[in-house]
Amino acid sequence: MKKSALSFLLLTTIGLGNLVLAGNPNAVYLHEGFNGSGIPAGWTQFRISGTQALWSIVGIGSNPTIPPYAGSGQAKFNSFDAAAGEQARLVSPAINLASATDPFLTFHLYHDDEYPSSFDSVYVDVSTVDSISGPWTTLLGARRPRSVEGWSKELVSLYAYRGVSRVFLSLRGVSKYGNNMFADEFRIADSSFHDIGVSELLPDNIPTTQPQVPVLNSPFPDSRMTISTNGKNSARYEEQLPVVALPYSSQLNIKAIVQNRGTFTEPSYSVNWQIDGLQQPQAVGGSIEPRTGRDTVTLTWSNPTPGIHTIIAWTVLPSDSNRTNDTSRATFQVLEAGTVFYESFNAVAFPPSGWSVINRDGGLLAPWFRGADTSAFPGFEGSGFAANNFQRANGTYLDDYLISPPVAGVGQSGFVDSLVFWTRSQFNQPPAANFPDSLMVLVSTSGADTSSFAILLDYFAVPKTGWTRKSYSVSSRVPANSTVRIAFRYLLHNVQATSGSGDFIGIDGVQFIRSGPASAENTNAAPELFALEQNYPNPFNPATTIRFSIPQTGEVDLKVFDLLGREVATLVDGHLESGIHQVQFNATTLASGVYFYRLRQESYHTTRIMTLLK
């Protein structure tokens, strides 16, 4: 739908009689409850893309069925009926903030947890131009899928627009073909309130910078989702927080960056935090200035175990008026103590220094490339990963090598050298599903030419169920004290190099681990580390295997919890000998979702995440 700037101007000059002049600390500049029978006077809605997306005013909502937050009506964005990617905008009348001193937008947004693979979203955009084409600036973004269903109060600072006589705000709906989204009680007023929250969790060696523009919430600040779907009613999905790799240390420091989004100076506050669902000692913050003030609180992580861990941190301030933005979370991968090298493919240059690629099939496109968040799926760790796809074939077959730098001293007596990496391929539909992505993992002890890779570690179909950990012993396959290179060979025959027949694979988090020393007579000794491995397969349906190591004999418990912290299964509860153990977990009676499994022995404890897909 297209409208002229003039018609838009006429629409937005109607219905401004409710403006209240400043002087009152709670002056209201616009209040809309969406209680009428149609789009309110002075407002307008239009499609940005697609043919079905639109905003409307309804009483009781549908898909899901919900009553308004207040009054008799609510604004509805029909994501359920619109195709994925369609957008529509609901635009306010012109708002006069010339006399405003501290304006804020507050409104309520409804979230539910159905169709969690569909990221239906509502953005708050602002413009000072009397034109539907903007330009528009995004102030906030909120996703529909949330684990806790209900209305949330959203706050957006308009401090940067105080003194501006004509300001337009819009609710921009973006469909991902999930449930509808609903907004209610849209209000712009001068107000004073307390509001702080943890905005980021970072390793201690990453610097923080002060934001140049004070924004209450940046779009989607919490977690990233790795999503693929094969239809609304048979969605397959996984939750994947951004992963940051950390070198092993007996103590790691995590910085909680706290932002003051309110209008008061906060002299003190506290930060609560958890590692894998287990409460940690509370940290105390200092004074923090209002609006754009930031503070850094150090969270000390003692004796971290190698593996993947989720940290959640939130501010504790009794007077905080907005609890929806208190919490931040991040996922960290603690590397093994003996990691020789680690490659996450996050640098813009590809291949990374010391790596090489070889195009054996002679296809016109370069072999292997750097995948990113805009690819078929996000990386496992950081912003990039090594990627390849069918479109790099020569029309008949595909044969591409990705070769690691040399690693010296492999196969030394008493040491174990292991290759560990994560891999996955794209969820897809036929015809691409008819061509399984296959990956060879090869070892060379004599050079980087393809003919040198004579040792086969594995040849497998790349999993389509999300990022999967692969681990192989290399030292047992090569002569003592060898210099080795690893080749990842993407090898397929009788494929079609067309856009409709290709899958997309990724490799990430490649590490070479050297453990030991250990004498030959002591190869069956108790493990030195308390460790809990990632379950396999993951995601799973309905059964999966969990392996763990305990360094001493004693009482052990291994339990499974849901996202609310409720225990759903006890897998081990009793006396175990030191050593490596494994158990099977059968989740036939449980619903699809994300679960935690926790291993505990005396003062040792660690937790991992697994996903059940039915």
Say which range, 101-115, 213-227, 590-604, has the weakest mean pLDDT: 213-227
Pairwise CA distance, residues 322 & 308, whole Å: 31
Condensed to tens digits (0 to 9), the pLDDT of residues 26-60 reads 589 999 999 998 999 999 999 999 999 999 999 99
Amino acid at 276: D
Q: Could you give all domains of the chain from N- to C-terminal order, each with its CATH number?
A: 5-190 (2.60.120.200), 196-334 (2.60.40.10), 339-515 (2.60.120.200), 526-612 (2.60.40.1930)
Contact by Cβ (8 Å): 451, 445: no
Q: Which two tokens stand for residue 524?
A: 């069956």
Mean residue pLDDT of the chain comes to 79
* CB atoms closer than 10 angstroms to residue 73: 20
Over residues 347-371, mean pLDDT: 88
Q: What is the pLDDT of residue 105?
A: 92
Condensed to tens digits (0 to 9), the pLDDT of residues 259-275 reads 998 889 999 999 999 98
Pairwise CA distance, residues 112 & 347, whole Å: 37
Q: What is the pLDDT of residue 427?
A: 60
Q: Which two tokens stand for residue 237?
A: 């999905």
Q: What is the pLDDT of residue 413?
A: 83
Amino acid at 374: T
Q: What is the pLDDT of residue 441?
A: 92
Q: What is the pLDDT of residue 499?
A: 37
The pTM (predicted TM-score) of the whole model is 0.56
Say which range, 136-140, 217-221, 276-280, 342-346, has the weakest mean pLDDT: 217-221
Condensed to tens digits (0 to 9), the pLDDT of residues 311-327 reads 999 999 999 988 878 98
Condensed to tens digits (0 to 9), the pLDDT of residues 479-493 reads 999 999 999 998 765
Pairwise CA distance, residues 600 & 609, whole Å: 15
Over residues 198-212, mean pLDDT: 63
Secondary structure (3-state) at 324 = helix
Give how far Cα 560 sits from Cα of 50, 465, 570, Å.
44, 21, 6
What does the DSSP assignment read for 422-459? EEEE----TTGGGS--EEEEEEESS-SSGGG--EEEEE
Q: Which two tokens stand for residue 373?
A: 């968040």
The residue ranking higher by pLDDT, 425 or 96, is 96
Condensed to tens digits (0 to 9), the pLDDT of residues 415-464 reads 888 898 988 887 654 444 445 567 889 999 999 999 999 999 888 878 77
Q: How confident is the model at residue 373 (pLDDT cuts 50, 70, 90)?
A: low
Contact by Cβ (8 Å): 116, 237: yes
Q: What is the pLDDT of residue 220?
A: 27
Among 413, 464, 418, 467, CA closest to 441: 418
**Dihedral pair phi/psi, residue 553, rounded to 5°:** -70, 140
The residue ranking higher by pLDDT, 20 or 453, is 453
Q: What is the pLDDT of residue 355?
A: 95
Pairwise CA distance, residues 76 & 180, whole Å: 7
Condensed to tens digits (0 to 9), the pLDDT of residues 395-411 reads 667 789 999 999 999 98
Q: Could you give the maximum distance between any two Cα atoms of the chain, in Å?
A: 88
Strands 455-461, 74-77: pairing kind: unpaired
- Compute the half-sphere exposure of residue 483: CA atoms within 13 Å on the CB side of its CA: 6
Over residues 240-246, mean pLDDT: 66
Contact by Cβ (8 Å): 483, 406: yes
Q: How confident is the model at residue 494 (pLDDT cuts 50, 70, 90)?
A: very low
Q: Which two tokens stand for residue 452?
A: 């040198």
Instruction: Give percent of the chain with pLDDT exceeding 90.
Output: 37
Residue 75 has pLDDT above 80, yes or no: yes
Pairwise CA distance, residues 28 & 36, whole Å: 20
Q: What is the pLDDT of residue 544?
A: 85
Q: What is the pLDDT of residue 431?
A: 42
Among 487, 479, 421, CA closest to 453: 487
Residue 223 has pLDDT above 50, yes or no: no
Amino acid at 159: Y
Q: How confident is the model at residue 228 (pLDDT cuts 50, 70, 90)?
A: very low
